[in-house]
Structures are given as structure tokens and as C-alpha cells.
């Protein structure tokens, strides 16, 4: 259960950073902003929705093809975000009704965990500033989300049992059966999407992977002559700094267009095109590319921080992953049922003009 709650908190923190102005102190008055939904007399304003929807829409357009950017898909994204906001209000209201509280130390602990993402206090404060946040707004938001996490722990945990070894072995046998099947056998099992998704995830998890950091220089579409010149200057400055053996993190902080001080995270060997993957995976730990790797989005200078060898697919190597999948699925089911019960008791009025 703790992992489920931590996952929720991680998503909440991501929500805080990505929503940006949603937690601004000076919210618009009802008379100056359109009401989209009223949840038990509490409104969701158009400005609050837009602050989350439009950054999400921009990201959706960046990662999907033109053919995939249909009106239906955009509406699905719109409805998903609006439903998330409704659920969040329902959870917050229920936590308040039950009198759930958290301590100052618990809030500070989460702040400290959040700080560890960054290499220095300066980087942490710079990220807050960049996202229009103050430490007080962040504390208030984390407090609210810790309270909701505690509500979920209390209301969902008692409905969920951890999978037994028998459950895990049965699941493992079905996953391995799919992995060892012939193409024809895989086609026959294609209707069981949970098994297929889990099998693909397990195969990826046990494959060779590396932890990397990057300095990313973005190249916009329809780049102008002036922009090309500025990009080339930035690339030359990065190359010069790398040749002088300056700190990769400090160079990323100064020049990179990617967030989190260039922390790219874990990359699995089949995540990237083979041309890029072969180059990165053949590097030694601690080494970095002195010349950038060019992709459709821009230029990447990459540093390999850790390497992990491929593991065999057997029960011992698979047990934890499969146990987590089974447990999370049970938690998700219980959580959905809980949200359904809150919705059933709530008075939710949606603006019909949406």
C-alpha cells in the first residue's frame, strides 16, 4: 500500500510542477471566470482547467503524430483532465469531512525528498521560480495531497489483499507461456491484454539498461536563420565546456532545454532507435558524448551514469515485478470503486455548454 500511496504522491508533485499557475495565490473571482463544473457547491473554473489542459495538450501534440491528433482524442484528453479535477475535489472534500490531518514534520519530509531531485538549493529554488511557485504554495499543495493520500490509504487499504505466492506463480506461468509462444500462439493469446502488457514490461525490465543524464538543445519546427545561428552558438558553448571537463550537471543547468537538471533517467536498450541506442550503450560509465546526437527534436549530449546487465527471465527475477503488477491492479480496482461511491453521493453539475 505504501508504494501505491508514494506513486500517488509522485503524480501529485508532478501535477504541482506541471500545472504551474493553478496554485497561484490570486485566483479569479467567480464573476470574472466561467464555471465549468460545480462539485458539492465547489466550482471548477475555466482558468483552473485551462492551466492544466493546455500544457497537457501541447505535450500531447509533441508526442503524437498529426494523424493521431484527432478531435476525438483531444476531447478524450479534455474529459480525462476534467474528471481528474472532479475526483480530486471529491477526495479533498471527503478528507475534510473525516477530519484527516498531517503534521508539519510530514510536510517538511516531503519537501526534503523533493529537494533531493536537485543538486543544490539554488537549482531547487530556480525550478520553483521557473514554474511560478513559492515554497509556501508548494507546502500548501503538498499538505493537501498528503491528506488525500492518507484518505486513500485508509479507505482503499482495508479492501485490498497482497497477492500470495500461488497468485504470483500462476500469473508468472501465464506470462512465460505468452513469451515462449510461437507467433501463432501469441496471436491466439492476443485477447488477454493484461498478460501481453505485463510480458512486454517484464522483458523490458530485465533487458540491458542504463541511467543517463543529458544536455538537450531543442530545435523548433520551421526554424529561422537567426534561430539556427543561436542554436549553433549554444552547441559550440556546450562542446567547449565539455572539453574543459566542466561539471556535466552545471552545463545542463546552464544550457539544457530539458527539466530536472538534465536527468533523463533509465533507458532500456530497445527504447531508442538502434543507431542512437548502439552509440549510448557502448559508452563506459562516466563518459559523455562530446559531439551531440541529433534527433528529430534537437541535439542531445549524453552522459552514462550507471549500467545494468541483462537478466534471465525466471521466477526469482520476475517475482517482485509481477507481485507489484497484481497488487497495483487490485489497488486500482478498489480505488475506482471508492471514487464511484463518492461520485454517487455527490451533487455534480456540469456546464451543458461544454
Q: Residue 334 falls within a domain, yes or no?
A: no
Q: Residue 262 falls within a domain, yes or no?
A: yes
Q: According to the model, what pLDDT value does residue 143 have?
A: 95
The whole domain housing 40 covers 2-158
Q: Residue 337 falls within a domain, yes or no?
A: no
Mean pLDDT by 10 residues, the chain (354 residues): 41 40 39 84 93 89 80 92 95 97 95 85 86 89 94 91 96 91 72 87 95 92 90 95 92 85 87 87 94 90 96 96 96 95 96 70
With beta carbons less than 8 A apart as the criterion, state whether 303 and 120 touch: no
Q: According to the model, what pLDDT value does residue 24 have?
A: 35
Q: According to the model, what pLDDT value does residue 207 have?
A: 95
Is residue 221 located within the same domain as residue 104? Answer: no
Residues 6+ positions from 344 with CB-CB distance below 8 Å: none
Is residue 147 located within the same domain as residue 10? Answer: yes
Residues 6+ positions from 177 with CB-CB distance below 8 Å: 189
Please tell me the distance from the alpha carbon of residue 273 to that of residue 286, in angstroms, as a whole number. 22
At 164, give phi and psi (nearest 5°).
-85, 170
CATH of the domain at 67: 1.10.4030.10
Is residue 252 located within the same domain as residue 269? Answer: yes
Total number of domains in the chain = 3
Q: According to the model, what pLDDT value does residue 190 have?
A: 67
CA distances from 88 to 13, 15, 155, 175, 298 (A): 14, 11, 15, 35, 36
- 173 alpha-carbon distance from chain centroid: 30
Please tell me the distance from the alpha carbon of residue 92 to that of residue 147, in angstroms, as a whole number. 8
Q: Residue 252 falls within a domain, yes or no?
A: yes
pTM (2 d.p.): 0.71
Is residue 272 located within the same domain as residue 235? Answer: yes
Is residue 198 located within the same domain as residue 224? Answer: no
Q: Residue 339 falls within a domain, yes or no?
A: no
Place of cell 504470483: 168
Amino acid at each position: 500500500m505504501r508504494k501505491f500511496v508514494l506513486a500517488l504522491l509522485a503524480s501529485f508533485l508532478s501535477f504541482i510542477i506541471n500545472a504551474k499557475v493553478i496554485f497561484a495565490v490570486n485566483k479569479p473571482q467567480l464573476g470574472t471566470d466561467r464555471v465549468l463544473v460545480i462539485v458539492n457547491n465547489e466550482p471548477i473554473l475555466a482558468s483552473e482547467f485551462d492551466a492544466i489542459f493546455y500544457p497537457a495538450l501541447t505535450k500531447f501534440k509533441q508526442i503524437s503524430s498529426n494523424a493521431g491528433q484527432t478531435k476525438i482524442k483531444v476531447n478524450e484528453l479534455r474529459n480525462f483532465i476534467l474528471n481528474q479535477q472532479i475526483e480530486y475535489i471529491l477526495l479533498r472534500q471527503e478528507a475534510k469531512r473525516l477530519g484527516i490531518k498531517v503534521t508539519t514534520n510530514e510536510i517538511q519530509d516531503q519537501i526534503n525528498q523533493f529537494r533531493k531531485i536537485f543538486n543544490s538549493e539554488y537549482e531547487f529554488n530556480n525550478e520553483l521560480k521557473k514554474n511560478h511557485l513559492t515554497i509556501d504554495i508548494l507546502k500548501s499543495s503538498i499538505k493537501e495531497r498528503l491528506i488525500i493520500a492518507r484518505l486513500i490509504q485508509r479507505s482503499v487499504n482495508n479492501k485490498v489483499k497482497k497477492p500470495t505466492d500461488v497468485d504470483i506463480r500462476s500469473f508468472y506461468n501465464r506470462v512465460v507461456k505468452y513469451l515462449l509462444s510461437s507467433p501463432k500462439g501469441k496471436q491466439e493469446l492476443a485477447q488477454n491484454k493484461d498478460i501481453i502488457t505485463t510480458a512486454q514490461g517484464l522483458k523490458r525490465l530485465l533487458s540491458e539498461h542504463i541511467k543517463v543524464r543529458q544536455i538537450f538543445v531543442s530545435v523548433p519546427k520551421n526554424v529561422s536563420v537567426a534561430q539556427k545561428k543561436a542554436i549553433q552558438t549554444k552547441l559550440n558553448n556546450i562542446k567547449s565546456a565539455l572539453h574543459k571537463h566542466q561539471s556535466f550537471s552545471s552545463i545542463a543547468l546552464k544550457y539544457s532545454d530539458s527539466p530536472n537538471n538534465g536527468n533523463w533517467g533509465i533507458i532500456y536498450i530497445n527504447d531508442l532507435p538502434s543507431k542512437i541506442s548502439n552509440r549510448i550503450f557502448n559508452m563506459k560509465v562516466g563518459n559523455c558524448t562530446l559531439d551531440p546526437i541529433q534527433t528529430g527534436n534537437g541535439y542531445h549530449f549524453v552522459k552514462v551514469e550507471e549500467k545494468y546487465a541483462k537478466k534471465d527471465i525466471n521466477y526469482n527475477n520476475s517475482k517482485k515485478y509481477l507481485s507489484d503488477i497484481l497488487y497495483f491492479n487490485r489497488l486500482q480496482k478498489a480505488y475506482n470503486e471508492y471514487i464511484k461511491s463518492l461520485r454517487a453521493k455527490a451533487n455534480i453539475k456540469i456546464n451543458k455548454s461544454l
